[in-house]
Structure formats: C-alpha cells, structure tokens
C-alpha cells in the first residue's frame, strides 16, 4: 500500500484537462486540499511529441502526474479511425510516463480502459485476466495501445522503482462528455438522441443492436473519487478496476433514458448493427479492498444528472456536439 500521499503538499499535473473525466478529477483534487494543480490539454500541448512533453514537465515541475489524455470514442469512430486510435494513445501514454520518470516525478497515475481486457473474458472481469486473450476486435487498436500502460508501468517499477499505479475505469458517463453522435459512447449518444426526439415530437428513435448486452456503467463523479483515493492510498503494482460492479441491460438503459428524457414515441432496434461483447461487468473487489471505495451512484440518479446537465448546457453552446 505504501505511505499515504498528502496531495495538499504536492504539485500535480493533470493531462487531458478538456476531457470529462479530468473535469471531475480536478474538483475532487481540490476537495482533498490540492492547491497547486497544473493542466494540459490538446490545445496547449501535443502529448504525442516528446519535446512538447519535456517542455510541459519543465514548465509545471510536477511531483505527481495523473495521465488522463487520450483519443477516445465509441465503436463507430474506433472502426473508422483505428490507426489514429492506436498511434495517438500509444504515443501519449508511452512518452508521458517515460518523461515523467525522467523528470523525477514522485508518483504517476495511469488510466487504462476496460476495453483493453480480452473480448472473451468472463464476467465479472478480474484484473489478472488482462492477458487471457485479445481485446474486442472493433476497438482492438485502442485497447492494445492502452494495454501497454500496464506493461510500461510494471517495467519502470521493476527497473527504476518508479511509483506508477494503473487504474482501469469501466464505462464512465456523466456531464461534460462528448455528445457527438459519430464519436460518442453509448450513454451520451442515447441521451442526445432521445432528448432531441422528445423535443421534436419524433414518432420513433432507432438504436443499435438487440438491447440484450449487459454493461457495467460508472458515474464520472464516483470514478473521480476512486482515482483520487488511489493517488492518496495506493502504491502497488496491481491493476485496479474502477467501476460500479453492477450490470445494466442495454434494453433497460434505453428505456430508462427515453423515460428520463420525456420521450414517448416508438423505439426501433437496428439488429444489423453490432452488439459488442454480450456481458461485460467488472470485478471491483480489489478497489473496495485496497482503496476502501465503492462507486455508489445509482444508474438512474447518474443519468438524471447527465440529462439535466445536457439540457441546461446545450442551449448555452457548452456541449460538444
């Protein structure tokens, strides 16, 4: 476990600051007393370039780095841009971790992704299953790039004693996420579709697949709390899943979002579109044991907050569409 980290006394760098996870992590850090927080996003630093990363670390002089930068998206955009998803995520992860070690950073938190796990991994998915098979085909370039964070962290810990922890968030959702229908994950895509359909009085909404797959969704605020808890309390080599550990059928999710958005029309399932893995639930016992944390926000509460945020900010132009 290691000595508890007092983040109030540390200079902290958070990358991917424009992303919705970072927008939850930064306030959580402040709630825990962090006063010196530097940020980097795509518009200020190209983390695929080694010199840009070196400049960033020289400018900010962090003692702690939380690596949240990444090129992310749903099944559609992963299928359309596999080379970018592979290259960008591999380079951002590899360079930032290496240069953080080189700059003398005391602690590094890397965030992997649930789709790095094998396509056929039985649920609940345990952290030690990572190498039991290849990732799901549609997102394999992205998932494989993210897997390398675990390899690099273990190598740098073993050779250099570098305190790098690797966290594996599940299907995170919440305010500030990307609601672009081409790029977005399932929940923001559905929220936008059903809110727009409700507002327009549309007679039907078409959704992908059969509705039978079951997924493990985690509210972004819960995930942020877990990341900060890990930063404070954990310094071990083992991966830690961060998720709710509860399952929601996609059909039930669709019906719930439709109701919360006030949509009363017909729902049409396009069964020619892919379902993805049949069941994907994460084992969260290690998170509960090592971090003393549980992701407690019920799916309906989290969805209501997400929908309220989307409706309120859409009219202001504050939503990524």
To the query of whether residue 142 is one of the catalytic residues in this protein, the response is: yes
What's the confidence (pLDDT) of residue 177? 92
| 149 domain-assigned | yes
Q: Which of 108, 142, 156, 173 is catalytic?
A: 142
Express each pLDDT in 153-179 by its tens digit: 999 999 999 999 999 999 999 999 999
Beta pairing, strands 171-173 & 204-208: unpaired
In a domain, 111, yes or no: yes
Residue 283 is predicted with a pLDDT of 98
Is 148 within a domain?
Answer: yes
In this structure, is residue 166 part of a structural domain? yes
Q: Is residue 61 part of a domain?
A: yes
Domain containing residue 222: 7-177+216-245+281-296
Q: In whole angstroms, give the CA distance from residue 148 to residue 93.
A: 8
Spatial distance between the Cα atoms of 127 and 283, rounded to a whole number of angstroms: 8
The answer to whether residue 25 sits within a structural domain is yes
Overall domain count for the chain: 1
Residue 40: Cβ-neighbour burial (10 angstroms; 0-12, 13-18, 19+): buried
Residue 201 belongs to some domain of the structure: no
Residue 315 lies in a domain: no
The segments of the chain whose pLDDT lies below 50 read: none
- Convert 291-321 to b/e letters by CB count within 10 Å (16 or more is b): bebebebebeebbebbbebbbeebeeeebee
The pLDDT of residue 1 is 53
CATH classification of the domain holding 58? 3.40.50.720
Q: What is the pLDDT of residue 10?
A: 97
pLDDT value for 65: 98
């Amino acid at each position: 476990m290691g000595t508890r980290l007092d983040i109030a006394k540390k200079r902290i760098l958070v990358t991917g600051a424009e992303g919705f996870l970072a927008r939850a992590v930064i306030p959580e850090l402040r709630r825990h007393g962090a006063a010196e927080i530097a940020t980097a996003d795509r518009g200020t630093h190209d983390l695929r370039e080694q010199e840009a990363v070196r400049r960033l670390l020289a400018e900010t002089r962090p003692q702690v780095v939380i690596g949240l930068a990444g090129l992310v998206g749903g099944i559609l955009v992963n299928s359309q841009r596999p080379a970018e998803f592979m290259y960008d995520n591999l380079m951002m992860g590899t360079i930032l971790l290496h240069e953080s070690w080189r700059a003398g950073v005391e602690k590094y938190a890397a965030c992997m992704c649930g789709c790095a796990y094998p396509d056929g991994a039985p649920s609940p998915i345990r952290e030690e299953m990572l190498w039991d098979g290849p990732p799901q085909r549609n997102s394999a370039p992205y998932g494989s790039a993210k897997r390398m964070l675990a390899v690099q962290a273990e190598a740098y810990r073993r050779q250099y004693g570098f305190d790098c922890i690797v966290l594996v968030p599940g299907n995170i959702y919440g305010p500030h996420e990307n609601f672009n229908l081409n790029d977005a994950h399932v929940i923001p895509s559905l929220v936008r579709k059903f809110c727009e359909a409700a507002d327009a009085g549309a007679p039907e909404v078409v959704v992908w697949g059969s509705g039978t797959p079951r997924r493990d969704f985690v509210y972004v605020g819960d995930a942020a709390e877990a990341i900060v808890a890990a930063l404070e309390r954990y310094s071990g080599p083992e991966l830690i899943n961060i998720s709710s550990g509860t399952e929601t059928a996609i059909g039930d999710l669709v019906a719930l979002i439709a109701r919360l958005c006030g949509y009363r029309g017909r729902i049409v399932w396009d069964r020619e579109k892919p379902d993805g893995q049949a069941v994907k639930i994460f084992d969260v016992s290690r998170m509960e044991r090592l971090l003393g944390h549980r992701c407690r926000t019920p799916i309906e509460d989290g969805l209501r907050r997400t929908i309220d945020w989307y409706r309120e900010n859409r009219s202001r132009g504050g939503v990524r569409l």
